[in-house]
Amino acid sequence: MLTRRGFLATLGAFAGLALGGRRAWASEDESLFRRPIPSTGERIPAIGMGTWITFNVGPDAGARAVRRDILRTFFERGGTLVDSSPMYGASEAVVGDCLVQIDGFNTVFSATKVWTRGRDYGVEQMETSERLWGVPRFDLLQVHNLLDWRVHLETLQAWKAAGRVRYIGVTTSHGRRHDLLEQVMTDWPLDFVQFTYNIRDRRAEARLLPLARERGIAVIANRPFAGGELFDVVAGQPLPVWAADIDCANWAQFFLKFIISDPAVTCAIPATSRVDHMLENMGGLRGRMPDAAERDRMTAYFGAI
């Protein structure tokens, strides 16, 4: 029996095909800052949405209603890429319910991960994620923190060849396992790679970001606010006056524009549990982006606080 979520997902798939694969939530906004996915040239907004902790709210109806409003605001302000994982507790189920409630299946760029050992367990987990999200197929599937990465990449390559997923990739976080990640990026045909990059943690600038450009791999920057710690650093500190020159109205936009202005970065994925913070985040998609000299100025200012 086809569930309501399944019906909407199927309907969304046909509507998406009729409209060239994706329907914008609102009219196309040329002022939004987008970046191309190197393997295809498809352009996506450079700020996405993470769901770690923030969407792990279980069955709480009030908390889920807030997440629905957060996701709606994200789409209305131009966002598309939503990233989750089976590691994130109830987050995938909450995302799926929110997509049903706001009819977001044709807007979302769905990205999740496989996080288990063994081929069969990996396939079972990814199929469970499809059911939880309510999508006919994911836009992006990633091997979470390189767990059993060789086995799962072989499965993902087969799924991509069969049309079961559009893009494939691998992830790390907290600046870990860069040596292994570099090896995988060099040896495997990846569409995406995800790792930590922010104005305080810039280790990826040494090898990973240049390698991604060289290999034509899209980069998702996770922990763009260092789990909120960047805001603790600047608490009570005003934005520099010159931040207005790059259209930053708050610290969230300052931190996000630093990341997405790097030419190797495709998308940053801040997470939030508040609508007002989502509005601040998505403002980072508009206006001037800092150039190389301005990015140096940003890191110097932050480092001096």
Residue type, 265: V
Q: What is the pLDDT of residues 224-250, one digit of tens each?
A: 999 999 999 999 999 999 999 999 999
For 51-61, the pLDDT digits (tens) are 999 999 999 99
| Domains of the chain, each with CATH number or no CATH | 31-227+237-304 (3.20.20.100)
Backbone φ and ψ for 168, nearest 5 degrees, come out as -130, 155
- Rounded Cα distance between 61 and 101, Å, is 13
pLDDT digits (tens, 9 = 90+) for 104-158: 999 999 999 999 999 999 999 999 999 999 999 999 999 999 999 999 999 999 9
Using a 10 angstrom Cβ sphere, with 0-12 exposed, 13-18 middle and 19 or more buried, the burial of residue 127 is: exposed
Q: Quick one: pLDDT band at residue 175, thresholds 50, 70, 90?
A: confident
pLDDT at 219 over 90: yes
State the Cα–Cα distance between residues 142 and 85, nearest whole angstrom. 9
DSSP string across 70-123: HHHHHHHTT--EEE--GGGTTHHHHHHHHHHHHT-TTT-EEEEEE-SSSHHHHH
Which tens digit of pLDDT belongs to each residue from 146-173? 999 999 999 999 999 999 999 999 999 9
Q: Please say if the pLDDT value at position 204 is more than 60.
A: yes
pLDDT at 28: 66
Q: Quote the CA–CA distance of 92 and 113 in Å, as a whole number.
A: 10
pLDDT in tens, 34-85: 999 999 999 999 999 999 999 999 999 999 999 999 999 999 999 999 999 9
Predicted pLDDT at 193: 98
pTM to 2 decimals? 0.91
Identify each DSSP E strand in the chain by its residue range.
Answer: 34-36, 43-45, 49-50, 81-83, 109-114, 138-143, 165-171, 192-196, 218-222, 267-268
Q: 157 near 135, Cβ under 8 Å?
A: no
